[in-house]
Each structure stands twice: as C-alpha cells, then as structure tokens.
Structure 1
C-alpha cells in the first residue's frame, strides 16, 4: 500500500525546495523527492558555480589592467584553476547543505532520496541506486520540478573522445591549453570569456553568422566586439560533422566540419548547444501527463498540467528556464493554492492553508505566468541584460513605437571605472506610453535593468521613470536621460 501524503514535490531546485516548505507550513503533509544534489541546477552546476568563476575571471582581468587606473602590479597575473574550483566547491557545498538542512528541518516535510517515476496520475515509485525495495508514494497534489540537462549532439566519433558539458567543465583543476566551444549563446559565451581570462586559448564555433541569434544584432555585435578584443576567437558559419582523437597528443581532439575547411585541434571540447528537460525517465505516460516533442510539459498560466492535481514548475514547463522564473513559478503556485486562490485536487478534511504574514512574502489571490514580463541577463563582462520585447520583436509587431539608445561612454560611472563598452536601448508604445522593452549592455547593466523591470511590472507610463530623480554617480541615473532621447521607430 503506497504511503499517502497531501503533496509531493519532485526535485529540490529553486522552485521545488521553497514550495515544499510552504506546503508543509500550510499544514499539508508533504514529501519531497531528490535523486541528485539538493538545490538543483542553479546551486550545483548553474548560476552559483559559474558566477563564482566569473568573479575569479574578472579579478584576473582587473589585475591585468590595473595600470590603466594608475595601479602598478609587478609580475605575471596567473590563475590557479584548482584554487578557483576549491572556492567554487566551498560555495556550492554551503548552499547545497543549507537547502538539505532547511528541507529536513521543515514542518510536515519528509525527504526521500531516490529517483521518482509515476505509476499513475497521483502515485509514484521511488528507486535508489543500491536496489533497495521500491518506496511507493501517493498524493492529491504533485509538483514536478526536475530541471534540464545539457544536450550533446550525436556526432560521429564522440564515443572515442573526452568532451565536456557545462557541468563537467567545472570539475577541471588544470587550465585547458585550447578550449573549443560548440555553441554561441549564453552559456557558451560566459565560459568563453571566463577561460580566456583564466589564460586559455578559446575558440567559439558559431553555426550562423553571428552570436546571440535571439538578441538584436547591435547587441550581439557589441558583445562580440568585447570578447574578440579580449582574445576569444570565433569561427562563423561552421558546423562540426565529426570528432576523433588527436593522432599524436593524448586526450586532445580533432574536430572536422561539414564545410571544406581544415580540421581544428583542441585540448578540450565543450558542448554548449542547448538543454533538454529531465522528463524522459519520469514515467509521465503512466500518469497521462502530456509533453511536447521536446519533452517540455505544457502548463496553463497557473502552471497546471493536463492532469488535475499535477503541476510542473521550473525549467521543465518551458516558461523561462531561469532561476528567477523558477522561483516565480513557486510564488505563482503558492499564491493560487495557499494564499486565497484556486485550490484543486485537495482531499476533504485537509487544513485550510491559513498562513501567517511571515510565511507569505507574496500577494494573495490569483497569479498567472501568462502575465509575467520576461527578463534575464547574459553574465559576460560587461553583462547584457534585457526585459520585455526586443527591437526586432517591436518591429515585427508593427505597432507605433518610440526608441532611444545611448552609449555607455555617456555614463559617468562607466567613465570613472574605465569600462565604457556597450550601450542602452529602450522601446515604448507611442500611444499608451507603456515601456515595451529595454536592454543594457554595459557595466552593472544587470542591476540597472531593474529600473525598467519595476516600472513595467507596475504598468507605469515611461514619463514616471523619465522624471524620476536618481542618485549620482550611478548607471541608473542615465536611464531618465536615455528616455529624454525617445524618437519614432522607423
């Protein structure tokens, strides 16, 4: 007979862990199942470790250019990758242990370690690597938060070589002599700059004619200019067709191309060609839970799947695939299910879900992912941050719009720091004065973009931001000046 709970959360990522705790606080007897490391992608192989590497890489870069600011540093600037990794491991270890301790100490929460597979719409079997007997669980409410993993293209010869993904590259303790990266989007470019600043030769293989194909061409060119100036090499319009071991250098790789160009030699090969959801081994068919052809679980605005009483949050639902969207997914579910919104799939006799103010941290009532304004950043240095619509999307919409751009050379803070790469852009609706979108490639752009995010979330017209008094000298103080330059989008 399955052990019955009021709720089960599968996965302890940035949506699943806080949701399990909130469900327990609401009075629901909650099971949380984790088959790997607590904390999910962000804590273990995503944001936390990579941004610790970004910090180390920036420190090396600043030290090499200290003389530009009148600071003399003698000797060669070198990076000890083993020490960088040790620092990273300490940071993620603390975060991972903190998540596990938080869950194990939460009211009404029981932690199971193992792999969960659906055996029915509201039942699961939990298996462990040591082949202990299956643990069977059932619940009225089930929440899937199993994240994504890196995609490795099926190239001929792959089984004969050593290659890396974003996860395994973080385990290196010696710098690559020549790192070749397949892919030209966010993860690829962050690693490209990191390892170039560490001291490796880096080559990025780009299938198309520019990097960041989903961004406006001017921002893609701006990022490319910075990375190329730092020594990152780019090969455009190339597609790897095969890989094989180097005939003379052990562990090195030779990469062949569809195009008639010489093979490329690399000491290390990183695939950053996309990610796929961890849904193929969940037994979703047994539950009747639908997926699309990519394995994504479609959900409605309240993140409900096609099966009543089953939700999908985080990367697996295709609604963002960022840490902040995963956490917002948690807040949406909690607001609707626990804070006065819709409650479905709850058996009679359950607690009402009453909460204290300290439990909440969100508005009660109905919330929807359908009204969420997408925002994100690419953590190259300087970062590229964006919210809402791009210029290309606004043009495609055909609406009457205004646009403004401003180079970072006009920003006092950027000049004082000696970091004037990039520019700002804003787009607004000419009729409603609503901000449609904004992007910043520049120093502290990942923070300054929040001035736009907050205004757009509040639904405030752009003059509210245009006439705001900001502190000098900051990056954000030039946002009102940027809006002073709005002109028709032609």
Structure 2
C-alpha cells in the first residue's frame, strides 16, 4: 500500500494547485481524479472551453459587423464552421490539460485515475471509473494518507421538474459541443454561465431569449452593472424575460416549450429548439463515502469547514466549489494554497471580500469588494465615483465604448470598499482594484497614480478622482 503525506481528491484548479503547493513544501503527494483528463470542470467543460468559444465567436462577429468600419474588406460571405470552432476549442482544452499532467510530473505528484472514497480517516479506496467517469471493471486499490483534501468541485444544478436529456434540454457541458447553431436558444438563468454561452450563440446567428427569476440579470453583482449589461445585450438583440419563474419545460420532437409565470402570475410560453438550463451549480460529493468518516455537510450538500478549511475530522480538509462561498476557480486555488501552507505550519490567509468576480461576455464585467446594495444594507456611509468608458480615447480608438468604472469609497476615511466595472478587458483590469484594496488604498491614492495614456485603465484613475473630490478630468 502506498503511503502519502497528503492525498487530494479532485484535480480541478483547487485540487491541482493544492497538490503542487504541498509538493513544493516537501510533502509526498497524491492526486485522485475520476475522469481520464486532469483539470476538473474548469479546464474541461467550464472556464477554458467557454472562453475559447467566446473568443472565436467574437472574432466572427467582428468580421461580420465591424471589420468594414476599420477599412478591412473581406471578399465573399463570412461563414461559421461550427465543427472547426468546436474542434479548436477542444484543442485548447487538450493543450491545457496536458499542461497539468506536466506539472504533476514536474512536482513528482502521483496521479491516480478512479473514484476516490473514504475507507476511514486515513485510507482511501480508488475504484476504476472507466472512460469519462463511467462504471468499469477492475481492481480497487487503497492508499494511505496522513491528510486528505477534498476538492471534488460542483456539477450543474437543475430544477426538480426539468429532465435534462443532453440533446435539446441541455446544461453548459452540452452547450460547449453542439453540432449545430440553434435557431432559438432559450436560456433559463441570467447569471454568468447563461449570459456567456447565450452571447456565444447569439453572435453565431441564433435567436436567444433569457428567462430569469429575479428582476435583473447577474443579480449578485452591483445593480449598475446589471442595468448596463441589460442595455448592452438588448442592443445586441438578445431578448429577456425578467421576473419570470419557470414552471415547466417540455420537449416535443425537435421543439422545446418553456412555460413560466411573470410577476403578475400570468402564464407565458417560450418555444425554441434548444433550452440551456443554467440555474447555478451544486457541490459534488457523490461517491466520496463521507458517512464512513462522519464528515458533516450542510443543507445544500456542501462540506462544512472551519476558518482554516478543516472539516470536523481533524486531518481532512475541503476547498473550492464543494464548500461554501463563490464557485470560482481562483477562489479554489487560493484555498488550496492556504490548506497546503497550513499543513506546513505556515500562517496563510484569504480575504474573501477581495476575491474578484468576472463575466467574460463582451463587454466584460468585473467586480471586487462590496456592492452599493450591500453597503446600503449594512448602513455604511459611502461615496461614489463613476467614469464612462465612452470618454476614453482608447475606447473610441477600439470602438469599445460601452461600460464604466465605478468606485465606492468610505465617506469618512476614503478607503476603497468596492470597484465595479463594465468594459473592454476589465477582466484583467480588476486586478488593479484588488491590489489597491489589498493594501487598503484610498480613492485618492489611486487618483494620484500615473496611468498610461491611452488605456482602458485610465477609467480607474478618473473614477477615483470622481470619488475623491468629484473632479474627474475628462468628463
């Protein structure tokens, strides 16, 4: 029987990063992965493939709608080759997952493919999973681990009355490998995943209708971002049914019918050829045999942990989507590092308030810190500085004039409490806000930093000026 200092169950961003950091700190480490490839949801059917399709569809849309204004003429009709687009996406995924295999070899981490389940607190059975996690014949092996990190991630959620057939009624996993462009894609859920994949297929020619239970899209983000993105999406001809609760989804051959009730309790019907169910994700603990070691879960199936990510069993930890908090790859990575360094006797920390959130539509959406709604609810006095992207020379040069940067600062101390952005490349730009807030910068601190011209980043400086003394220079 092989013995390890640490065993990690799950090889997504949280799991593989935890394993690498443990190995760097001198621990003998194993990682257990149910599927044939490493990388978890994010690399295989989440973050990476969706961004590949977002970029490909963006290039197509630019070619069709915007090249001519830049003086670029393409003879003949610009066409979509969806099969080739999907193949490129898969190529990106394959290259990325092979990179994780390389990192495992480099750090001398033993990789086991199979379903890991607890035999007891220090022994893990690994049963053969077969291709893509299916059942398979073979011998179960057991390893011993002084410590274990659960990093099994999440799976797409659904509604109790919806039967996902993976053909016409689909989740994000199937939406990443369609063989045809939908004529009318109905998206249930106006959150990150639904909006990103909805925009992909809208660009490629589908009619897209988003049905959202709440009264606004991306409801967890700042209200100003929701309002701006609704305006942008409508300009892009996406349709929205807000404050609509879905009551039934029924397939009739190649047609899918979605029934919902609006806020006046009127029944509304939507008909399309595909329905994407994107109503969130659930913690995935299937097959772990948590009962064998008495690990507690909450009412949503998430593994309960303390402030150090330790479960009620002293040598078992849990990180990422399988525990409470935002289901974000970079949050999982930070938690993986925290556990590894804690096991090594170090004193790491995470400020969950400073984990940024991003929507990779175009324009992009990014946030860190408190929203205006949260500050109001908490009774914190604050001031606001907002600057529109359309006022930037860089935005006019690129033609990306939608969006803004909004800075919320403490009214008394001027400390930055939240930064919310919509615009080109704000997914990258939000890192400036995270850095500033990590060092507890004031709006004035940011306003006095030189920002290169012309850049999108100038909007951050201008918003900080607006928050400091209401003295933005370029509006």
Superposed pair shares fold, TM > 0.5: yes
Q: Secondary structure at the match of 1:234?
A: strand
Work out the CA distance in 2 between the residues paired with 1:301 and 1:139.
Answer: 22
Q: Please give the residue correspondences for 1:332-371 in structure 2 after superposition, counting only pairs within 5 Å.
A: 332-338=338-344, 340-341=345-346, 366-370=347-351
The answer for the alignment partner of 1:268 in structure 2 is: 274
Residue 355 of structure 1 corresponds to none
The change in CA–CA distance for 1:8 and 1:235 in structure 2 (over 3 A counts) is same
Answer whether contact 1:428 1:462 (CA < 8 A) is retained: yes
Partner of residue 300, structure 2: 294
Does the aligned pair in 2 maintain the 1:179–1:202 contact within 8 Å? yes
Instruction: Map residues 15-414 of structure 1 onto 2, 5 A cutoff.
Output: 15-36=14-35, 37-63=37-63, 64-107=65-108, 109-128=109-128, 129-155=135-161, 162-246=168-252, 250-258=253-261, 260-261=266-267, 263-338=269-344, 340-341=345-346, 366-370=347-351, 373-414=354-395
In structure 1, the gaps of 5 or more residues are: 342-365
Query: 1:158 touches 1:243 (CA, 8 Å); kept in 2?
Result: no
Partner of 2:13: 14
Q: Rate the CA distance shift 1:483–1:24 in 2: closer, same or farther, 3 A.
A: closer
- The alpha-carbon deviation at position 178 of structure 1 amounts to 1.2
| 2:176 alignment partner, SS class | helix
Measured against aligned partners, the alpha-carbon deviations of 1:352-401 in whole angstroms (never above 9, x if no partner) come to: xxxxxxxxxxxxxx122356512111111010110100111111221222
1:370/1:306 CA distance change after superposition, 3 Å: farther
After TM superposition, which residue ranges in structure 1, 4 or more long, deviate above 4 angstroms? 156-161
Q: Post-superposition shift, 1:30?
A: 2.0
In structure 2, the CA distance between the partners of 1:202 and 1:186, relative to structure 1 (3 Å rule), is: same
Partner of 1:359: none
CA offsets 1:46-83 (integer angstroms, 9 cap, x no match): 11100011101111221122223333334433321111
Shift of 1:182: 0.5
CA distance in structure 2 between the partners assigned to 1:314 and 1:382 by the alignment: 27
Aligned partners of 2:70, 2:267: CA distance in 1, in Å? 43
- Change in 2 beyond 3 A, CA 1:208/1:29: closer
Structure 2 partner of 1:5: 4
2:366–2:426 Cα contact (<8 Å) kept? yes
Give the Å deviation of 1:186. 0.6
Answer whether contact 2:444 2:468 (CA < 8 A) is retained.
Answer: no
| Matched position secondary structure for 1:428 | strand
8 Å contact kept, 1:373–1:388: yes
Q: How many residue pairs are counted as aligned between the two chains?
A: 459
What is the root-mean-square deviation in Å for CA atoms of aligned residues? Answer: 2.1
Q: For 1:369, what is the secondary structure of its paired residue?
A: coil
1:335 to 1:236, Cα distance in 2 relative to 1, 3 A = same
**SS in structure 2 opposite 1:426?**
strand
Bigger mean CA offset, 139-148 vs 477-486:
477-486
Contact 1:423 1:441 survives alignment (8 Å): yes
- Cα distance between partner residues in 2 of 1:417 and 1:116: 50
Encode CA deviations 1:161-201: one digit per residue, 9 max, x unaligned.
73111111111122111111110111111111111001111
- In the aligned structure 2, how far is the partner of 1:263 from the partner of 1:273? 19
- Equivalent pair of 1:157/1:242 in contact (CA under 8 Å): no
Confirm or deny: 8 A CA contact 2:164 2:171 kept in the other structure.
no
Of 426, 434, 456, the residue aligned with 1:445 is: 426
State the alpha-carbon separation in 2 of the partners of residues 445 and 221 from structure 1.
Answer: 17
Moved more, 464-473 or 68-77: 68-77
TM-score with structure 1 setting the length: 0.89
